[in-house]
Chain A
Amino acid sequence: MKPPPFDYHAPRSVGEALETLADVGEHGKVLAGGQSLIPMLNMRLAAPGHLVDINRLTELATLDVEPGGVRVGALARHAQVERSEEVAAAQPLLRQALRLVAHPVIRNRGTVVGSLVHADPAAELPAVLAVLGGSVRLARPGTVRDVPAAGFFTGILESAAEPGELAVSAFFPLLPPRSGTAFREVARRHGDYALAGVAALVGLDDDLRITTARVACVSVGPAPVLVDVTEACGHRPPASADWASAARAVQERTAPEADIHATADYRRHLTGVLAQQALRDAAREALDA
Protein backbone atom coordinates (compact mmCIF):
# COMPACT_ATOMS: atom_id res chain seq x y z
CA MET A 1 0.00 0.00 0.00
CA LYS A 2 1.55 3.28 -1.09
CA PRO A 3 0.02 6.74 -1.02
CA PRO A 4 -0.85 8.29 -4.39
CA PRO A 5 1.52 11.06 -5.55
CA PHE A 6 0.90 14.66 -4.46
CA ASP A 7 2.71 17.99 -4.46
CA TYR A 8 4.26 18.54 -1.07
CA HIS A 9 4.33 21.95 0.61
CA ALA A 10 6.22 22.67 3.82
CA PRO A 11 5.35 26.23 4.86
CA ARG A 12 7.54 27.86 7.51
CA SER A 13 4.92 30.22 8.94
CA VAL A 14 1.17 30.27 9.45
CA GLY A 15 0.93 33.15 6.95
CA GLU A 16 2.71 31.09 4.29
CA ALA A 17 0.50 28.07 5.07
CA LEU A 18 -2.66 30.16 4.61
CA GLU A 19 -1.41 31.55 1.27
CA THR A 20 -0.55 28.06 0.04
CA LEU A 21 -3.91 26.65 1.13
CA ALA A 22 -5.70 29.53 -0.61
CA ASP A 23 -3.71 28.85 -3.80
CA VAL A 24 -4.39 25.13 -3.98
CA GLY A 25 -8.04 25.49 -2.85
CA GLU A 26 -10.12 22.34 -3.14
CA HIS A 27 -7.16 20.28 -4.38
CA GLY A 28 -5.31 20.78 -1.08
CA LYS A 29 -5.32 18.96 2.25
CA VAL A 30 -3.69 19.90 5.53
CA LEU A 31 -1.28 17.31 6.95
CA ALA A 32 -1.16 17.48 10.75
CA GLY A 33 -0.31 14.33 12.75
CA GLY A 34 -1.17 12.17 9.76
CA GLN A 35 -2.68 9.47 11.99
CA SER A 36 -5.98 9.55 10.10
CA LEU A 37 -4.95 11.08 6.78
CA ILE A 38 -1.97 8.80 6.01
CA PRO A 39 -3.96 5.57 6.55
CA MET A 40 -6.55 6.98 4.12
CA LEU A 41 -3.80 7.80 1.61
CA ASN A 42 -2.15 4.39 2.07
CA MET A 43 -5.49 2.71 1.39
CA ARG A 44 -6.12 5.16 -1.46
CA LEU A 45 -9.35 6.39 0.07
CA ALA A 46 -8.09 9.93 -0.52
CA ALA A 47 -5.96 11.40 -3.32
CA PRO A 48 -5.40 15.12 -2.74
CA GLY A 49 -3.32 16.95 -5.37
CA HIS A 50 -1.47 18.96 -2.73
CA LEU A 51 -0.51 18.32 0.88
CA VAL A 52 0.25 21.30 3.08
CA ASP A 53 2.35 19.98 5.97
CA ILE A 54 1.90 22.09 9.13
CA ASN A 55 4.42 20.12 11.20
CA ARG A 56 7.05 22.89 10.98
CA LEU A 57 4.66 25.51 12.36
CA THR A 58 5.83 25.26 15.96
CA GLU A 59 3.94 28.50 16.64
CA LEU A 60 0.81 26.30 16.52
CA ALA A 61 2.12 23.80 19.12
CA THR A 62 0.47 25.83 21.88
CA LEU A 63 -1.59 24.88 24.90
CA ASP A 64 -2.96 27.83 26.87
CA VAL A 65 -5.18 27.83 29.92
CA GLU A 66 -7.07 31.11 29.49
CA PRO A 67 -9.55 32.62 31.98
CA GLY A 68 -12.55 31.08 30.16
CA GLY A 69 -11.11 27.81 28.96
CA VAL A 70 -8.31 25.81 27.38
CA ARG A 71 -7.10 26.82 23.93
CA VAL A 72 -5.35 24.02 22.05
CA GLY A 73 -3.21 24.99 19.04
CA ALA A 74 -3.33 22.99 15.81
CA LEU A 75 0.04 21.34 16.39
CA ALA A 76 -0.56 20.30 20.02
CA ARG A 77 -0.36 16.50 19.99
CA HIS A 78 -2.79 14.30 21.91
CA ALA A 79 0.06 13.23 24.25
CA GLN A 80 1.04 16.82 25.05
CA VAL A 81 -2.53 17.73 26.03
CA GLU A 82 -3.05 14.46 27.94
CA ARG A 83 0.09 14.96 30.04
CA SER A 84 -0.52 18.60 30.98
CA GLU A 85 -1.42 18.84 34.69
CA GLU A 86 -2.56 22.42 34.15
CA VAL A 87 -5.04 21.33 31.50
CA ALA A 88 -6.24 18.39 33.60
CA ALA A 89 -6.96 20.75 36.50
CA ALA A 90 -8.77 23.28 34.30
CA GLN A 91 -10.75 20.90 32.09
CA PRO A 92 -10.53 17.27 33.28
CA LEU A 93 -12.66 15.88 30.45
CA LEU A 94 -9.79 16.32 27.98
CA ARG A 95 -7.52 13.85 29.77
CA GLN A 96 -10.44 11.52 30.55
CA ALA A 97 -11.21 11.32 26.83
CA LEU A 98 -7.65 11.34 25.47
CA ARG A 99 -6.78 8.19 27.42
CA LEU A 100 -9.37 6.43 25.28
CA VAL A 101 -8.03 7.77 21.95
CA ALA A 102 -6.03 5.06 20.17
CA HIS A 103 -2.72 3.96 21.76
CA PRO A 104 0.07 5.99 23.37
CA VAL A 105 2.25 5.80 20.25
CA ILE A 106 -0.54 7.15 18.01
CA ARG A 107 -1.13 9.90 20.57
CA ASN A 108 2.50 10.99 20.22
CA ARG A 109 1.71 12.21 16.68
CA GLY A 110 -2.05 12.79 16.38
CA THR A 111 -3.35 16.28 17.10
CA VAL A 112 -6.48 17.34 18.99
CA VAL A 113 -7.45 19.86 16.31
CA GLY A 114 -6.82 17.30 13.54
CA SER A 115 -9.18 14.90 15.27
CA LEU A 116 -11.91 17.57 15.40
CA VAL A 117 -11.53 18.50 11.72
CA HIS A 118 -11.44 14.83 10.74
CA ALA A 119 -14.87 14.52 12.42
CA ASP A 120 -15.03 10.75 12.72
CA PRO A 121 -18.41 9.87 14.28
CA ALA A 122 -16.65 7.30 16.48
CA ALA A 123 -13.99 9.72 17.75
CA GLU A 124 -13.94 10.94 21.36
CA LEU A 125 -12.78 14.55 20.99
CA PRO A 126 -15.69 15.80 18.87
CA ALA A 127 -18.00 14.59 21.67
CA VAL A 128 -15.86 16.47 24.21
CA LEU A 129 -16.10 19.70 22.20
CA ALA A 130 -19.86 19.18 21.80
CA VAL A 131 -20.70 18.47 25.44
CA LEU A 132 -18.59 21.41 26.65
CA GLY A 133 -19.94 23.80 24.02
CA GLY A 134 -16.48 24.63 22.67
CA SER A 135 -15.47 26.05 19.30
CA VAL A 136 -12.90 25.76 16.52
CA ARG A 137 -11.01 28.75 15.07
CA LEU A 138 -10.66 28.66 11.28
CA ALA A 139 -8.39 30.97 9.31
CA ARG A 140 -7.80 31.96 5.69
CA PRO A 141 -5.69 34.90 4.51
CA GLY A 142 -7.01 38.05 6.19
CA THR A 143 -9.97 36.42 8.02
CA VAL A 144 -10.55 34.33 11.12
CA ARG A 145 -13.86 32.84 12.29
CA ASP A 146 -14.87 30.87 15.37
CA VAL A 147 -17.33 28.06 14.70
CA PRO A 148 -19.23 26.70 17.74
CA ALA A 149 -19.32 22.92 18.18
CA ALA A 150 -23.06 22.87 17.43
CA GLY A 151 -22.34 23.98 13.85
CA PHE A 152 -18.91 22.43 13.37
CA PHE A 153 -19.69 18.73 12.88
CA THR A 154 -21.73 18.61 9.69
CA GLY A 155 -21.66 14.91 8.76
CA ILE A 156 -19.64 11.71 8.66
CA LEU A 157 -16.00 12.87 8.28
CA GLU A 158 -17.31 16.34 7.46
CA SER A 159 -16.72 19.52 9.36
CA ALA A 160 -17.34 23.21 8.78
CA ALA A 161 -13.67 23.69 7.79
CA GLU A 162 -13.83 24.55 4.09
CA PRO A 163 -11.22 23.90 1.42
CA GLY A 164 -8.50 26.52 1.79
CA GLU A 165 -9.14 27.00 5.51
CA LEU A 166 -6.72 26.13 8.29
CA ALA A 167 -8.04 25.24 11.73
CA VAL A 168 -5.59 27.12 13.94
CA SER A 169 -6.94 26.18 17.37
CA ALA A 170 -9.83 24.76 19.37
CA PHE A 171 -11.34 26.18 22.55
CA PHE A 172 -12.67 24.01 25.38
CA PRO A 173 -14.56 26.09 28.00
CA LEU A 174 -13.77 25.62 31.70
CA LEU A 175 -16.21 23.80 33.95
CA PRO A 176 -18.57 25.95 36.00
CA PRO A 177 -18.14 25.56 39.80
CA ARG A 178 -19.72 22.45 41.37
CA SER A 179 -19.63 20.43 38.17
CA GLY A 180 -18.00 17.24 37.00
CA THR A 181 -17.34 15.28 33.82
CA ALA A 182 -16.79 11.70 32.72
CA PHE A 183 -16.16 9.68 29.57
CA ARG A 184 -17.26 6.07 29.28
CA GLU A 185 -17.01 3.81 26.25
CA VAL A 186 -17.03 0.24 25.04
CA ALA A 187 -14.59 -0.87 22.33
CA ARG A 188 -13.80 -4.37 21.03
CA ARG A 189 -10.14 -3.94 21.97
CA HIS A 190 -8.46 -1.33 24.13
CA GLY A 191 -7.55 1.63 21.92
CA ASP A 192 -9.99 0.82 19.12
CA TYR A 193 -12.63 3.24 18.02
CA ALA A 194 -15.62 2.80 20.34
CA LEU A 195 -18.77 0.83 19.52
CA ALA A 196 -20.49 3.38 21.72
CA GLY A 197 -19.27 6.08 24.07
CA VAL A 198 -20.67 8.87 26.19
CA ALA A 199 -19.17 12.13 27.45
CA ALA A 200 -21.16 13.59 30.36
CA LEU A 201 -21.27 16.91 32.18
CA VAL A 202 -23.24 17.38 35.43
CA GLY A 203 -23.55 20.67 37.34
CA LEU A 204 -25.06 21.24 40.81
CA ASP A 205 -26.45 24.30 42.60
CA ASP A 206 -25.50 25.43 46.14
CA ASP A 207 -28.04 22.96 47.59
CA LEU A 208 -26.31 20.19 45.56
CA ARG A 209 -29.29 19.66 43.28
CA ILE A 210 -28.72 18.93 39.60
CA THR A 211 -29.04 22.08 37.47
CA THR A 212 -27.24 20.90 34.35
CA ALA A 213 -26.91 17.40 32.94
CA ARG A 214 -25.98 16.73 29.37
CA VAL A 215 -24.23 14.07 27.35
CA ALA A 216 -22.64 13.75 23.91
CA CYS A 217 -22.68 10.27 22.38
CA VAL A 218 -20.30 8.79 19.80
CA SER A 219 -20.91 6.12 17.15
CA VAL A 220 -24.70 6.54 17.20
CA GLY A 221 -25.13 9.16 14.48
CA PRO A 222 -23.22 11.00 11.76
CA ALA A 223 -21.92 13.52 14.33
CA PRO A 224 -21.79 13.65 18.15
CA VAL A 225 -25.36 13.40 19.49
CA LEU A 226 -25.80 16.07 22.17
CA VAL A 227 -28.69 15.48 24.60
CA ASP A 228 -29.71 17.73 27.49
CA VAL A 229 -31.14 15.49 30.24
CA THR A 230 -31.49 18.08 32.98
CA GLU A 231 -35.30 17.72 32.97
CA ALA A 232 -35.19 13.94 32.90
CA CYS A 233 -32.84 13.92 35.93
CA GLY A 234 -35.47 15.91 37.80
CA HIS A 235 -33.63 18.76 39.61
CA ARG A 236 -32.83 16.46 42.51
CA PRO A 237 -29.63 15.68 44.37
CA PRO A 238 -27.57 13.02 42.54
CA ALA A 239 -28.44 10.37 45.15
CA SER A 240 -32.13 10.48 44.20
CA ALA A 241 -31.86 11.51 40.55
CA ASP A 242 -33.75 9.48 37.98
CA TRP A 243 -30.73 8.28 35.99
CA ALA A 244 -32.72 5.53 34.29
CA SER A 245 -35.15 7.96 32.73
CA ALA A 246 -32.24 10.18 31.72
CA ALA A 247 -30.65 7.19 29.98
CA ARG A 248 -33.93 6.44 28.16
CA ALA A 249 -34.12 10.06 27.02
CA VAL A 250 -30.62 9.69 25.59
CA GLN A 251 -31.45 6.42 23.82
CA GLU A 252 -34.51 7.99 22.19
CA ARG A 253 -32.31 10.61 20.55
CA THR A 254 -29.81 8.18 19.04
CA ALA A 255 -30.00 6.83 15.49
CA PRO A 256 -27.28 4.19 15.35
CA GLU A 257 -26.53 2.15 12.25
CA ALA A 258 -25.56 -1.50 12.10
CA ASP A 259 -22.16 -2.54 10.77
CA ILE A 260 -19.90 -5.58 11.05
CA HIS A 261 -18.93 -4.55 14.59
CA ALA A 262 -22.37 -4.17 16.20
CA THR A 263 -26.08 -4.07 15.45
CA ALA A 264 -27.99 -0.83 15.80
CA ASP A 265 -29.93 -2.21 18.78
CA TYR A 266 -26.76 -3.21 20.58
CA ARG A 267 -25.27 0.25 20.09
CA ARG A 268 -28.46 1.84 21.43
CA HIS A 269 -28.40 -0.50 24.42
CA LEU A 270 -24.75 0.31 25.16
CA THR A 271 -25.42 4.01 24.86
CA GLY A 272 -28.11 3.81 27.54
CA VAL A 273 -25.89 1.87 29.95
CA LEU A 274 -22.87 4.11 29.32
CA ALA A 275 -24.97 7.29 29.67
CA GLN A 276 -26.11 6.19 33.12
CA GLN A 277 -22.56 5.31 34.19
CA ALA A 278 -21.07 8.51 32.81
CA LEU A 279 -23.76 10.72 34.38
CA ARG A 280 -23.28 9.05 37.78
CA ASP A 281 -19.48 9.43 37.52
CA ALA A 282 -19.81 13.08 36.52
CA ALA A 283 -22.25 13.75 39.40
CA ARG A 284 -19.83 12.14 41.85
CA GLU A 285 -17.07 14.42 40.58
CA ALA A 286 -19.37 17.42 40.90
CA LEU A 287 -20.07 16.54 44.55
CA ASP A 288 -16.31 16.36 45.18
CA ALA A 289 -15.59 19.61 43.31
Chain B
Amino acid sequence: MNIAITLTVNGVVRQVEVPGRRLLSDCLRHDLGLTGTHVGCEHGVCGCCTVLLDGEPVRSCLTFAVTVDGHDITTVEGLAAPGGAMSPVQRAFAECHGLQCGFCTPGFLCTVTALLRDNPAPSEEEVLEGISGNLCRCTGYQNIVKSVHRAAEIMAEES
Protein backbone atom coordinates (compact mmCIF):
# COMPACT_ATOMS: atom_id res chain seq x y z
CA MET B 1 0.00 0.00 0.00
CA ASN B 2 1.45 3.35 -1.02
CA ILE B 3 1.36 6.43 1.17
CA ALA B 4 1.08 9.97 -0.24
CA ILE B 5 3.75 12.29 1.17
CA THR B 6 4.86 15.86 0.56
CA LEU B 7 8.52 16.84 0.82
CA THR B 8 10.06 20.24 0.20
CA VAL B 9 13.24 19.29 -1.64
CA ASN B 10 15.71 22.08 -2.37
CA GLY B 11 12.91 24.59 -1.94
CA VAL B 12 10.49 22.84 -4.33
CA VAL B 13 7.34 21.16 -3.00
CA ARG B 14 7.26 17.57 -4.26
CA GLN B 15 4.38 15.15 -3.86
CA VAL B 16 5.01 11.45 -4.21
CA GLU B 17 3.41 8.12 -3.34
CA VAL B 18 5.74 5.59 -1.76
CA PRO B 19 5.53 2.32 0.15
CA GLY B 20 6.35 2.59 3.86
CA ARG B 21 9.66 0.81 3.36
CA ARG B 22 11.03 3.33 0.81
CA LEU B 23 14.31 4.73 2.11
CA LEU B 24 14.68 8.49 1.74
CA SER B 25 17.82 7.84 -0.35
CA ASP B 26 15.81 5.74 -2.84
CA CYS B 27 12.91 8.19 -2.80
CA LEU B 28 15.27 11.02 -3.77
CA ARG B 29 17.08 9.02 -6.43
CA HIS B 30 14.33 6.89 -7.96
CA ASP B 31 11.05 8.68 -7.27
CA LEU B 32 12.33 12.25 -7.60
CA GLY B 33 15.22 11.69 -10.03
CA LEU B 34 17.76 13.46 -7.82
CA THR B 35 20.70 11.15 -8.30
CA GLY B 36 23.24 13.50 -6.73
CA THR B 37 22.67 11.76 -3.39
CA HIS B 38 24.88 8.68 -3.54
CA VAL B 39 24.33 5.32 -1.91
CA GLY B 40 27.33 3.33 -0.72
CA CYS B 41 26.74 1.01 2.19
CA GLU B 42 23.07 1.39 3.16
CA HIS B 43 23.82 0.84 6.81
CA GLY B 44 24.98 4.21 7.99
CA VAL B 45 28.74 3.72 7.81
CA CYS B 46 30.00 5.52 4.68
CA GLY B 47 28.13 8.84 4.87
CA CYS B 48 27.81 9.42 1.12
CA CYS B 49 23.98 9.48 1.35
CA THR B 50 24.03 12.37 3.85
CA VAL B 51 21.40 15.07 3.17
CA LEU B 52 20.09 17.96 5.25
CA LEU B 53 16.78 17.35 7.03
CA ASP B 54 15.40 20.68 8.22
CA GLY B 55 19.01 21.87 7.96
CA GLU B 56 20.60 19.04 9.99
CA PRO B 57 22.75 16.38 8.31
CA VAL B 58 21.24 12.88 8.46
CA ARG B 59 21.75 9.56 6.71
CA SER B 60 19.10 9.28 3.99
CA CYS B 61 19.72 5.50 3.88
CA LEU B 62 18.67 5.26 7.55
CA THR B 63 15.51 7.36 7.18
CA PHE B 64 12.18 6.31 5.73
CA ALA B 65 10.65 8.80 3.30
CA VAL B 66 7.28 8.48 5.10
CA THR B 67 8.87 9.54 8.41
CA VAL B 68 9.91 12.92 7.00
CA ASP B 69 6.54 13.70 5.34
CA GLY B 70 6.06 17.47 5.53
CA HIS B 71 9.73 18.26 6.16
CA ASP B 72 12.45 20.18 4.29
CA ILE B 73 15.24 18.29 2.55
CA THR B 74 18.37 19.77 1.00
CA THR B 75 20.44 17.55 -1.26
CA VAL B 76 23.73 18.28 -3.02
CA GLU B 77 21.68 19.60 -5.97
CA GLY B 78 20.37 22.34 -3.68
CA LEU B 79 23.69 23.68 -2.40
CA ALA B 80 24.49 25.98 -5.33
CA ALA B 81 22.82 29.39 -5.61
CA PRO B 82 19.57 29.48 -7.67
CA GLY B 83 21.48 30.76 -10.73
CA GLY B 84 23.88 27.81 -10.49
CA ALA B 85 26.85 29.57 -8.83
CA MET B 86 28.72 27.08 -6.65
CA SER B 87 28.52 27.55 -2.88
CA PRO B 88 31.70 28.44 -0.95
CA VAL B 89 32.01 24.81 0.23
CA GLN B 90 31.72 23.51 -3.33
CA ARG B 91 34.28 26.02 -4.62
CA ALA B 92 36.71 25.17 -1.83
CA PHE B 93 36.50 21.42 -2.61
CA ALA B 94 37.23 22.15 -6.29
CA GLU B 95 40.07 24.54 -5.48
CA CYS B 96 41.80 22.30 -2.91
CA HIS B 97 41.30 19.00 -4.77
CA GLY B 98 38.96 17.77 -2.05
CA LEU B 99 37.61 15.18 -4.47
CA GLN B 100 38.87 12.67 -6.99
CA CYS B 101 36.20 10.20 -8.17
CA GLY B 102 33.49 12.26 -6.47
CA PHE B 103 31.49 9.35 -5.09
CA CYS B 104 31.75 10.49 -1.48
CA THR B 105 31.53 14.20 -2.33
CA PRO B 106 27.76 14.83 -2.02
CA GLY B 107 27.84 13.53 1.54
CA PHE B 108 30.90 15.58 2.46
CA LEU B 109 29.42 18.74 0.93
CA CYS B 110 26.15 18.43 2.86
CA THR B 111 27.94 17.55 6.12
CA VAL B 112 30.44 20.41 5.80
CA THR B 113 27.76 22.94 4.80
CA ALA B 114 25.96 22.32 8.10
CA LEU B 115 29.22 22.14 10.06
CA LEU B 116 30.37 25.59 8.91
CA ARG B 117 26.94 27.11 9.40
CA ASP B 118 27.05 26.06 13.08
CA ASN B 119 30.76 26.71 13.55
CA PRO B 120 32.17 29.20 10.98
CA ALA B 121 35.79 28.88 12.20
CA PRO B 122 36.33 25.28 13.30
CA SER B 123 39.63 24.08 14.79
CA GLU B 124 41.51 21.20 13.17
CA GLU B 125 40.06 18.84 15.77
CA GLU B 126 36.51 20.09 15.18
CA VAL B 127 36.91 19.55 11.44
CA LEU B 128 38.15 15.99 11.99
CA GLU B 129 35.28 15.23 14.37
CA GLY B 130 32.79 16.86 11.98
CA ILE B 131 33.76 14.71 8.99
CA SER B 132 34.59 11.56 10.99
CA GLY B 133 31.41 9.86 9.78
CA ASN B 134 32.22 10.21 6.07
CA LEU B 135 34.48 7.77 4.25
CA CYS B 136 36.54 8.63 1.16
CA ARG B 137 38.37 5.92 -0.76
CA CYS B 138 40.41 8.30 -2.94
CA THR B 139 41.76 11.45 -1.40
CA GLY B 140 43.37 10.32 1.82
CA TYR B 141 41.37 13.09 3.53
CA GLN B 142 44.19 15.67 3.70
CA ASN B 143 42.73 17.76 0.90
CA ILE B 144 39.22 17.39 2.28
CA VAL B 145 40.38 18.85 5.60
CA LYS B 146 42.10 21.67 3.66
CA SER B 147 38.87 22.26 1.72
CA VAL B 148 36.89 22.69 4.91
CA HIS B 149 39.31 25.30 6.26
CA ARG B 150 39.37 27.02 2.85
CA ALA B 151 35.56 27.08 2.71
CA ALA B 152 35.53 28.74 6.13
CA GLU B 153 37.95 31.36 4.78
CA ILE B 154 35.86 32.01 1.66
CA MET B 155 32.71 32.37 3.77
CA ALA B 156 34.47 34.82 6.09
CA GLU B 157 35.79 36.85 3.13
CA GLU B 158 32.39 37.01 1.48
CA SER B 159 30.27 37.80 4.51
Contacts and interface: CB of A to CB of B under 8 A. Distances in A.
Interface of A: 1-8, 10, 31, 34-35, 38-39, 41-43, 51, 53, 55, 79, 102-106, 108-109, 190-191
B23 interface: yes
B67 A34 contact: yes
A7 B63 contact: no
B64 A109 contact: no
Nearest to B44: A39
Contact of B21 (A5, A109, A191): A5
Interface string B47-68: 1001001001111011110110
A183 B157 CA distance: 40
A105 B62 CA distance: 11
A7 B1 CA distance: 8
B140 interface: no
B62 A35 contact: yes
B17 interface: no
B154 to A, nearest CB: 23
Given A5-B19, A8-B20, A105-B111, A38 B63 contact: yes
Given A31-B64, A42-B43, A191-B132, A7 B20 contact: yes
B42 interface: yes
B114 to A, nearest CB: 9
A5 to B, nearest CB: 6
Given A102-B44, A108-B58, 19 more contacts: A3-B23, A6-B21, A7-B20, A8-B20, A8-B21, A8-B66, A10-B67, A31-B67, A38-B64, A39-B42, A42-B42, A42-B61, A102-B133, A103-B47, A103-B132, A104-B132, A106-B44, A190-B129, A190-B132
A35 B50 CA distance: 13
B59 A106 contact: yes
B36 interface: no
Interface residues of B, number: 29
A104 B130 contact: yes
Interface in B53-105: 53, 56-59, 61-64, 66-67, 69
Contact of A2 (B21, B53, B62, B63): B21
Nearest to B71: A55
Contacts of B129: 104, 190
Given A2-B21, A42-B43, A109 B63 contact: yes
B133 A39 contact: no
Given A3-B21, A38-B63, A8 B57 contact: no
Contacts of A35: 44, 59, 62
15 contacts: A5-B20, A6-B21, A8-B20, A8-B64, A8-B66, A10-B67, A34-B63, A38-B62, A38-B63, A53-B64, A79-B56, A103-B133, A105-B59, A108-B53, A109-B58
B62 A191 contact: no
B53 to A, nearest CB: 8
Contacts of B69: 10
